[in-house]
Amino acid sequence: VLAHVTRPCRGATEPTRRRVRDALAVLLVVNESAWHVWQYHYGAWTLTTVLPLHLCSALVWVGAYGLVTLNPLLYEFMYFMGIAGPLQAVLTPDAAQYGLPHFRAVQTLVSHGTLIVAALYLTRVEGMRPTVDSMRRVVLGTIIYMVFVTVVNVALGSNYMWTLGKPPVVSLLDVLGPWPWYLIPVVLLGILNVVLLYAPFWWADRRRARAAVTHERPSA
């Protein structure tokens, strides 16, 4: 069962919701494209560092398309991976030696922050929600993607998704052990994040089921 729409937010008309979705999609694309232009301008654009293979970079393009199309499968990845991953990146941004208000630091925060806002917007305003099957698809799909990226890393000598080494900035990986062993807790933490992000929907479904049983129970 794919993610589905429950009911859009009351008071928000479809034209208004569409404009907001389009604006978020444009912001994601323009912000990410600006980073590529900046890298190219300073001669830093290389296949080993700038391809959209990091999970959050891939989610930028997935998210932009998902916002425009309201594709339920893309929403599943936007919700589960587009909140947990970017949230960690916002807390420990990969801006190398740059700090605020440098373009790279601002671009990083805008990119990841917009991913979080987009996922929450689709959930709260558009009324989309994941299902139990969504968790399985996202976990399996992300692991398969991680293996694919690792193969690319070996072929190119790159380190996308940090599968062949830790990032050069402070991150959660620093406390998860040496390579390659930190990849195991990374996967386990990813699964935990998916479960936690689904918990509010599980709890809401449970309460509705209890209320329905109470309503249908005949009075004494």
The pLDDT tens digits of the residues spanning 91-140 come to: 655 555 666 678 888 888 899 999 999 999 999 999 999 999 999 999 99
pLDDT at 59: 95
Helix (H, G, I), strand (E, B) or coil at 64: helix
pLDDT at 95: 55
Close Cβ partners of 196 (under 8 Å, ≥ 6 residues apart): none
pLDDT at 101: 77
Q: Are 194 and 82 in contact (CB under 8 A)?
A: no
Burial 189-217 (b: 16+ CB within 10 A, else e): ebeebbeebbeebeeeeeeeeeeeeeeee
What CA–CA distance (Å, rounded) separates 99 from 68?
A: 32
Say yes or no to pLDDT of 43 above 70. Answer: yes
pLDDT at 1: 76
Q: Are 68 and 21 in contact (CB under 8 A)?
A: yes
* pLDDT tens-digit series, residues 129-185: 999 999 999 999 999 999 999 999 999 999 999 999 998 777 778 888 999 999 999
Q: Are 71 and 122 in contact (CB under 8 A)?
A: no
What CA–CA distance (Å, rounded) separates 61 from 26?
A: 10
Largest CA distance in the chain: 79
* pLDDT tens-digit series, residues 77-92: 999 999 987 777 666 5
pLDDT at 35: 93
pLDDT at 10: 72
pLDDT at 212: 74
pLDDT at 40: 94
Considering the entire predicted model, what is its pTM? 0.88
Say yes or no to pLDDT of 61 above 60. Answer: yes
pLDDT at 94: 57
pLDDT category, 57, cuts 50, 70, 90? very high
Cα separations in angstroms, 169 against 91, 112, 197, 217: 12, 16, 26, 58
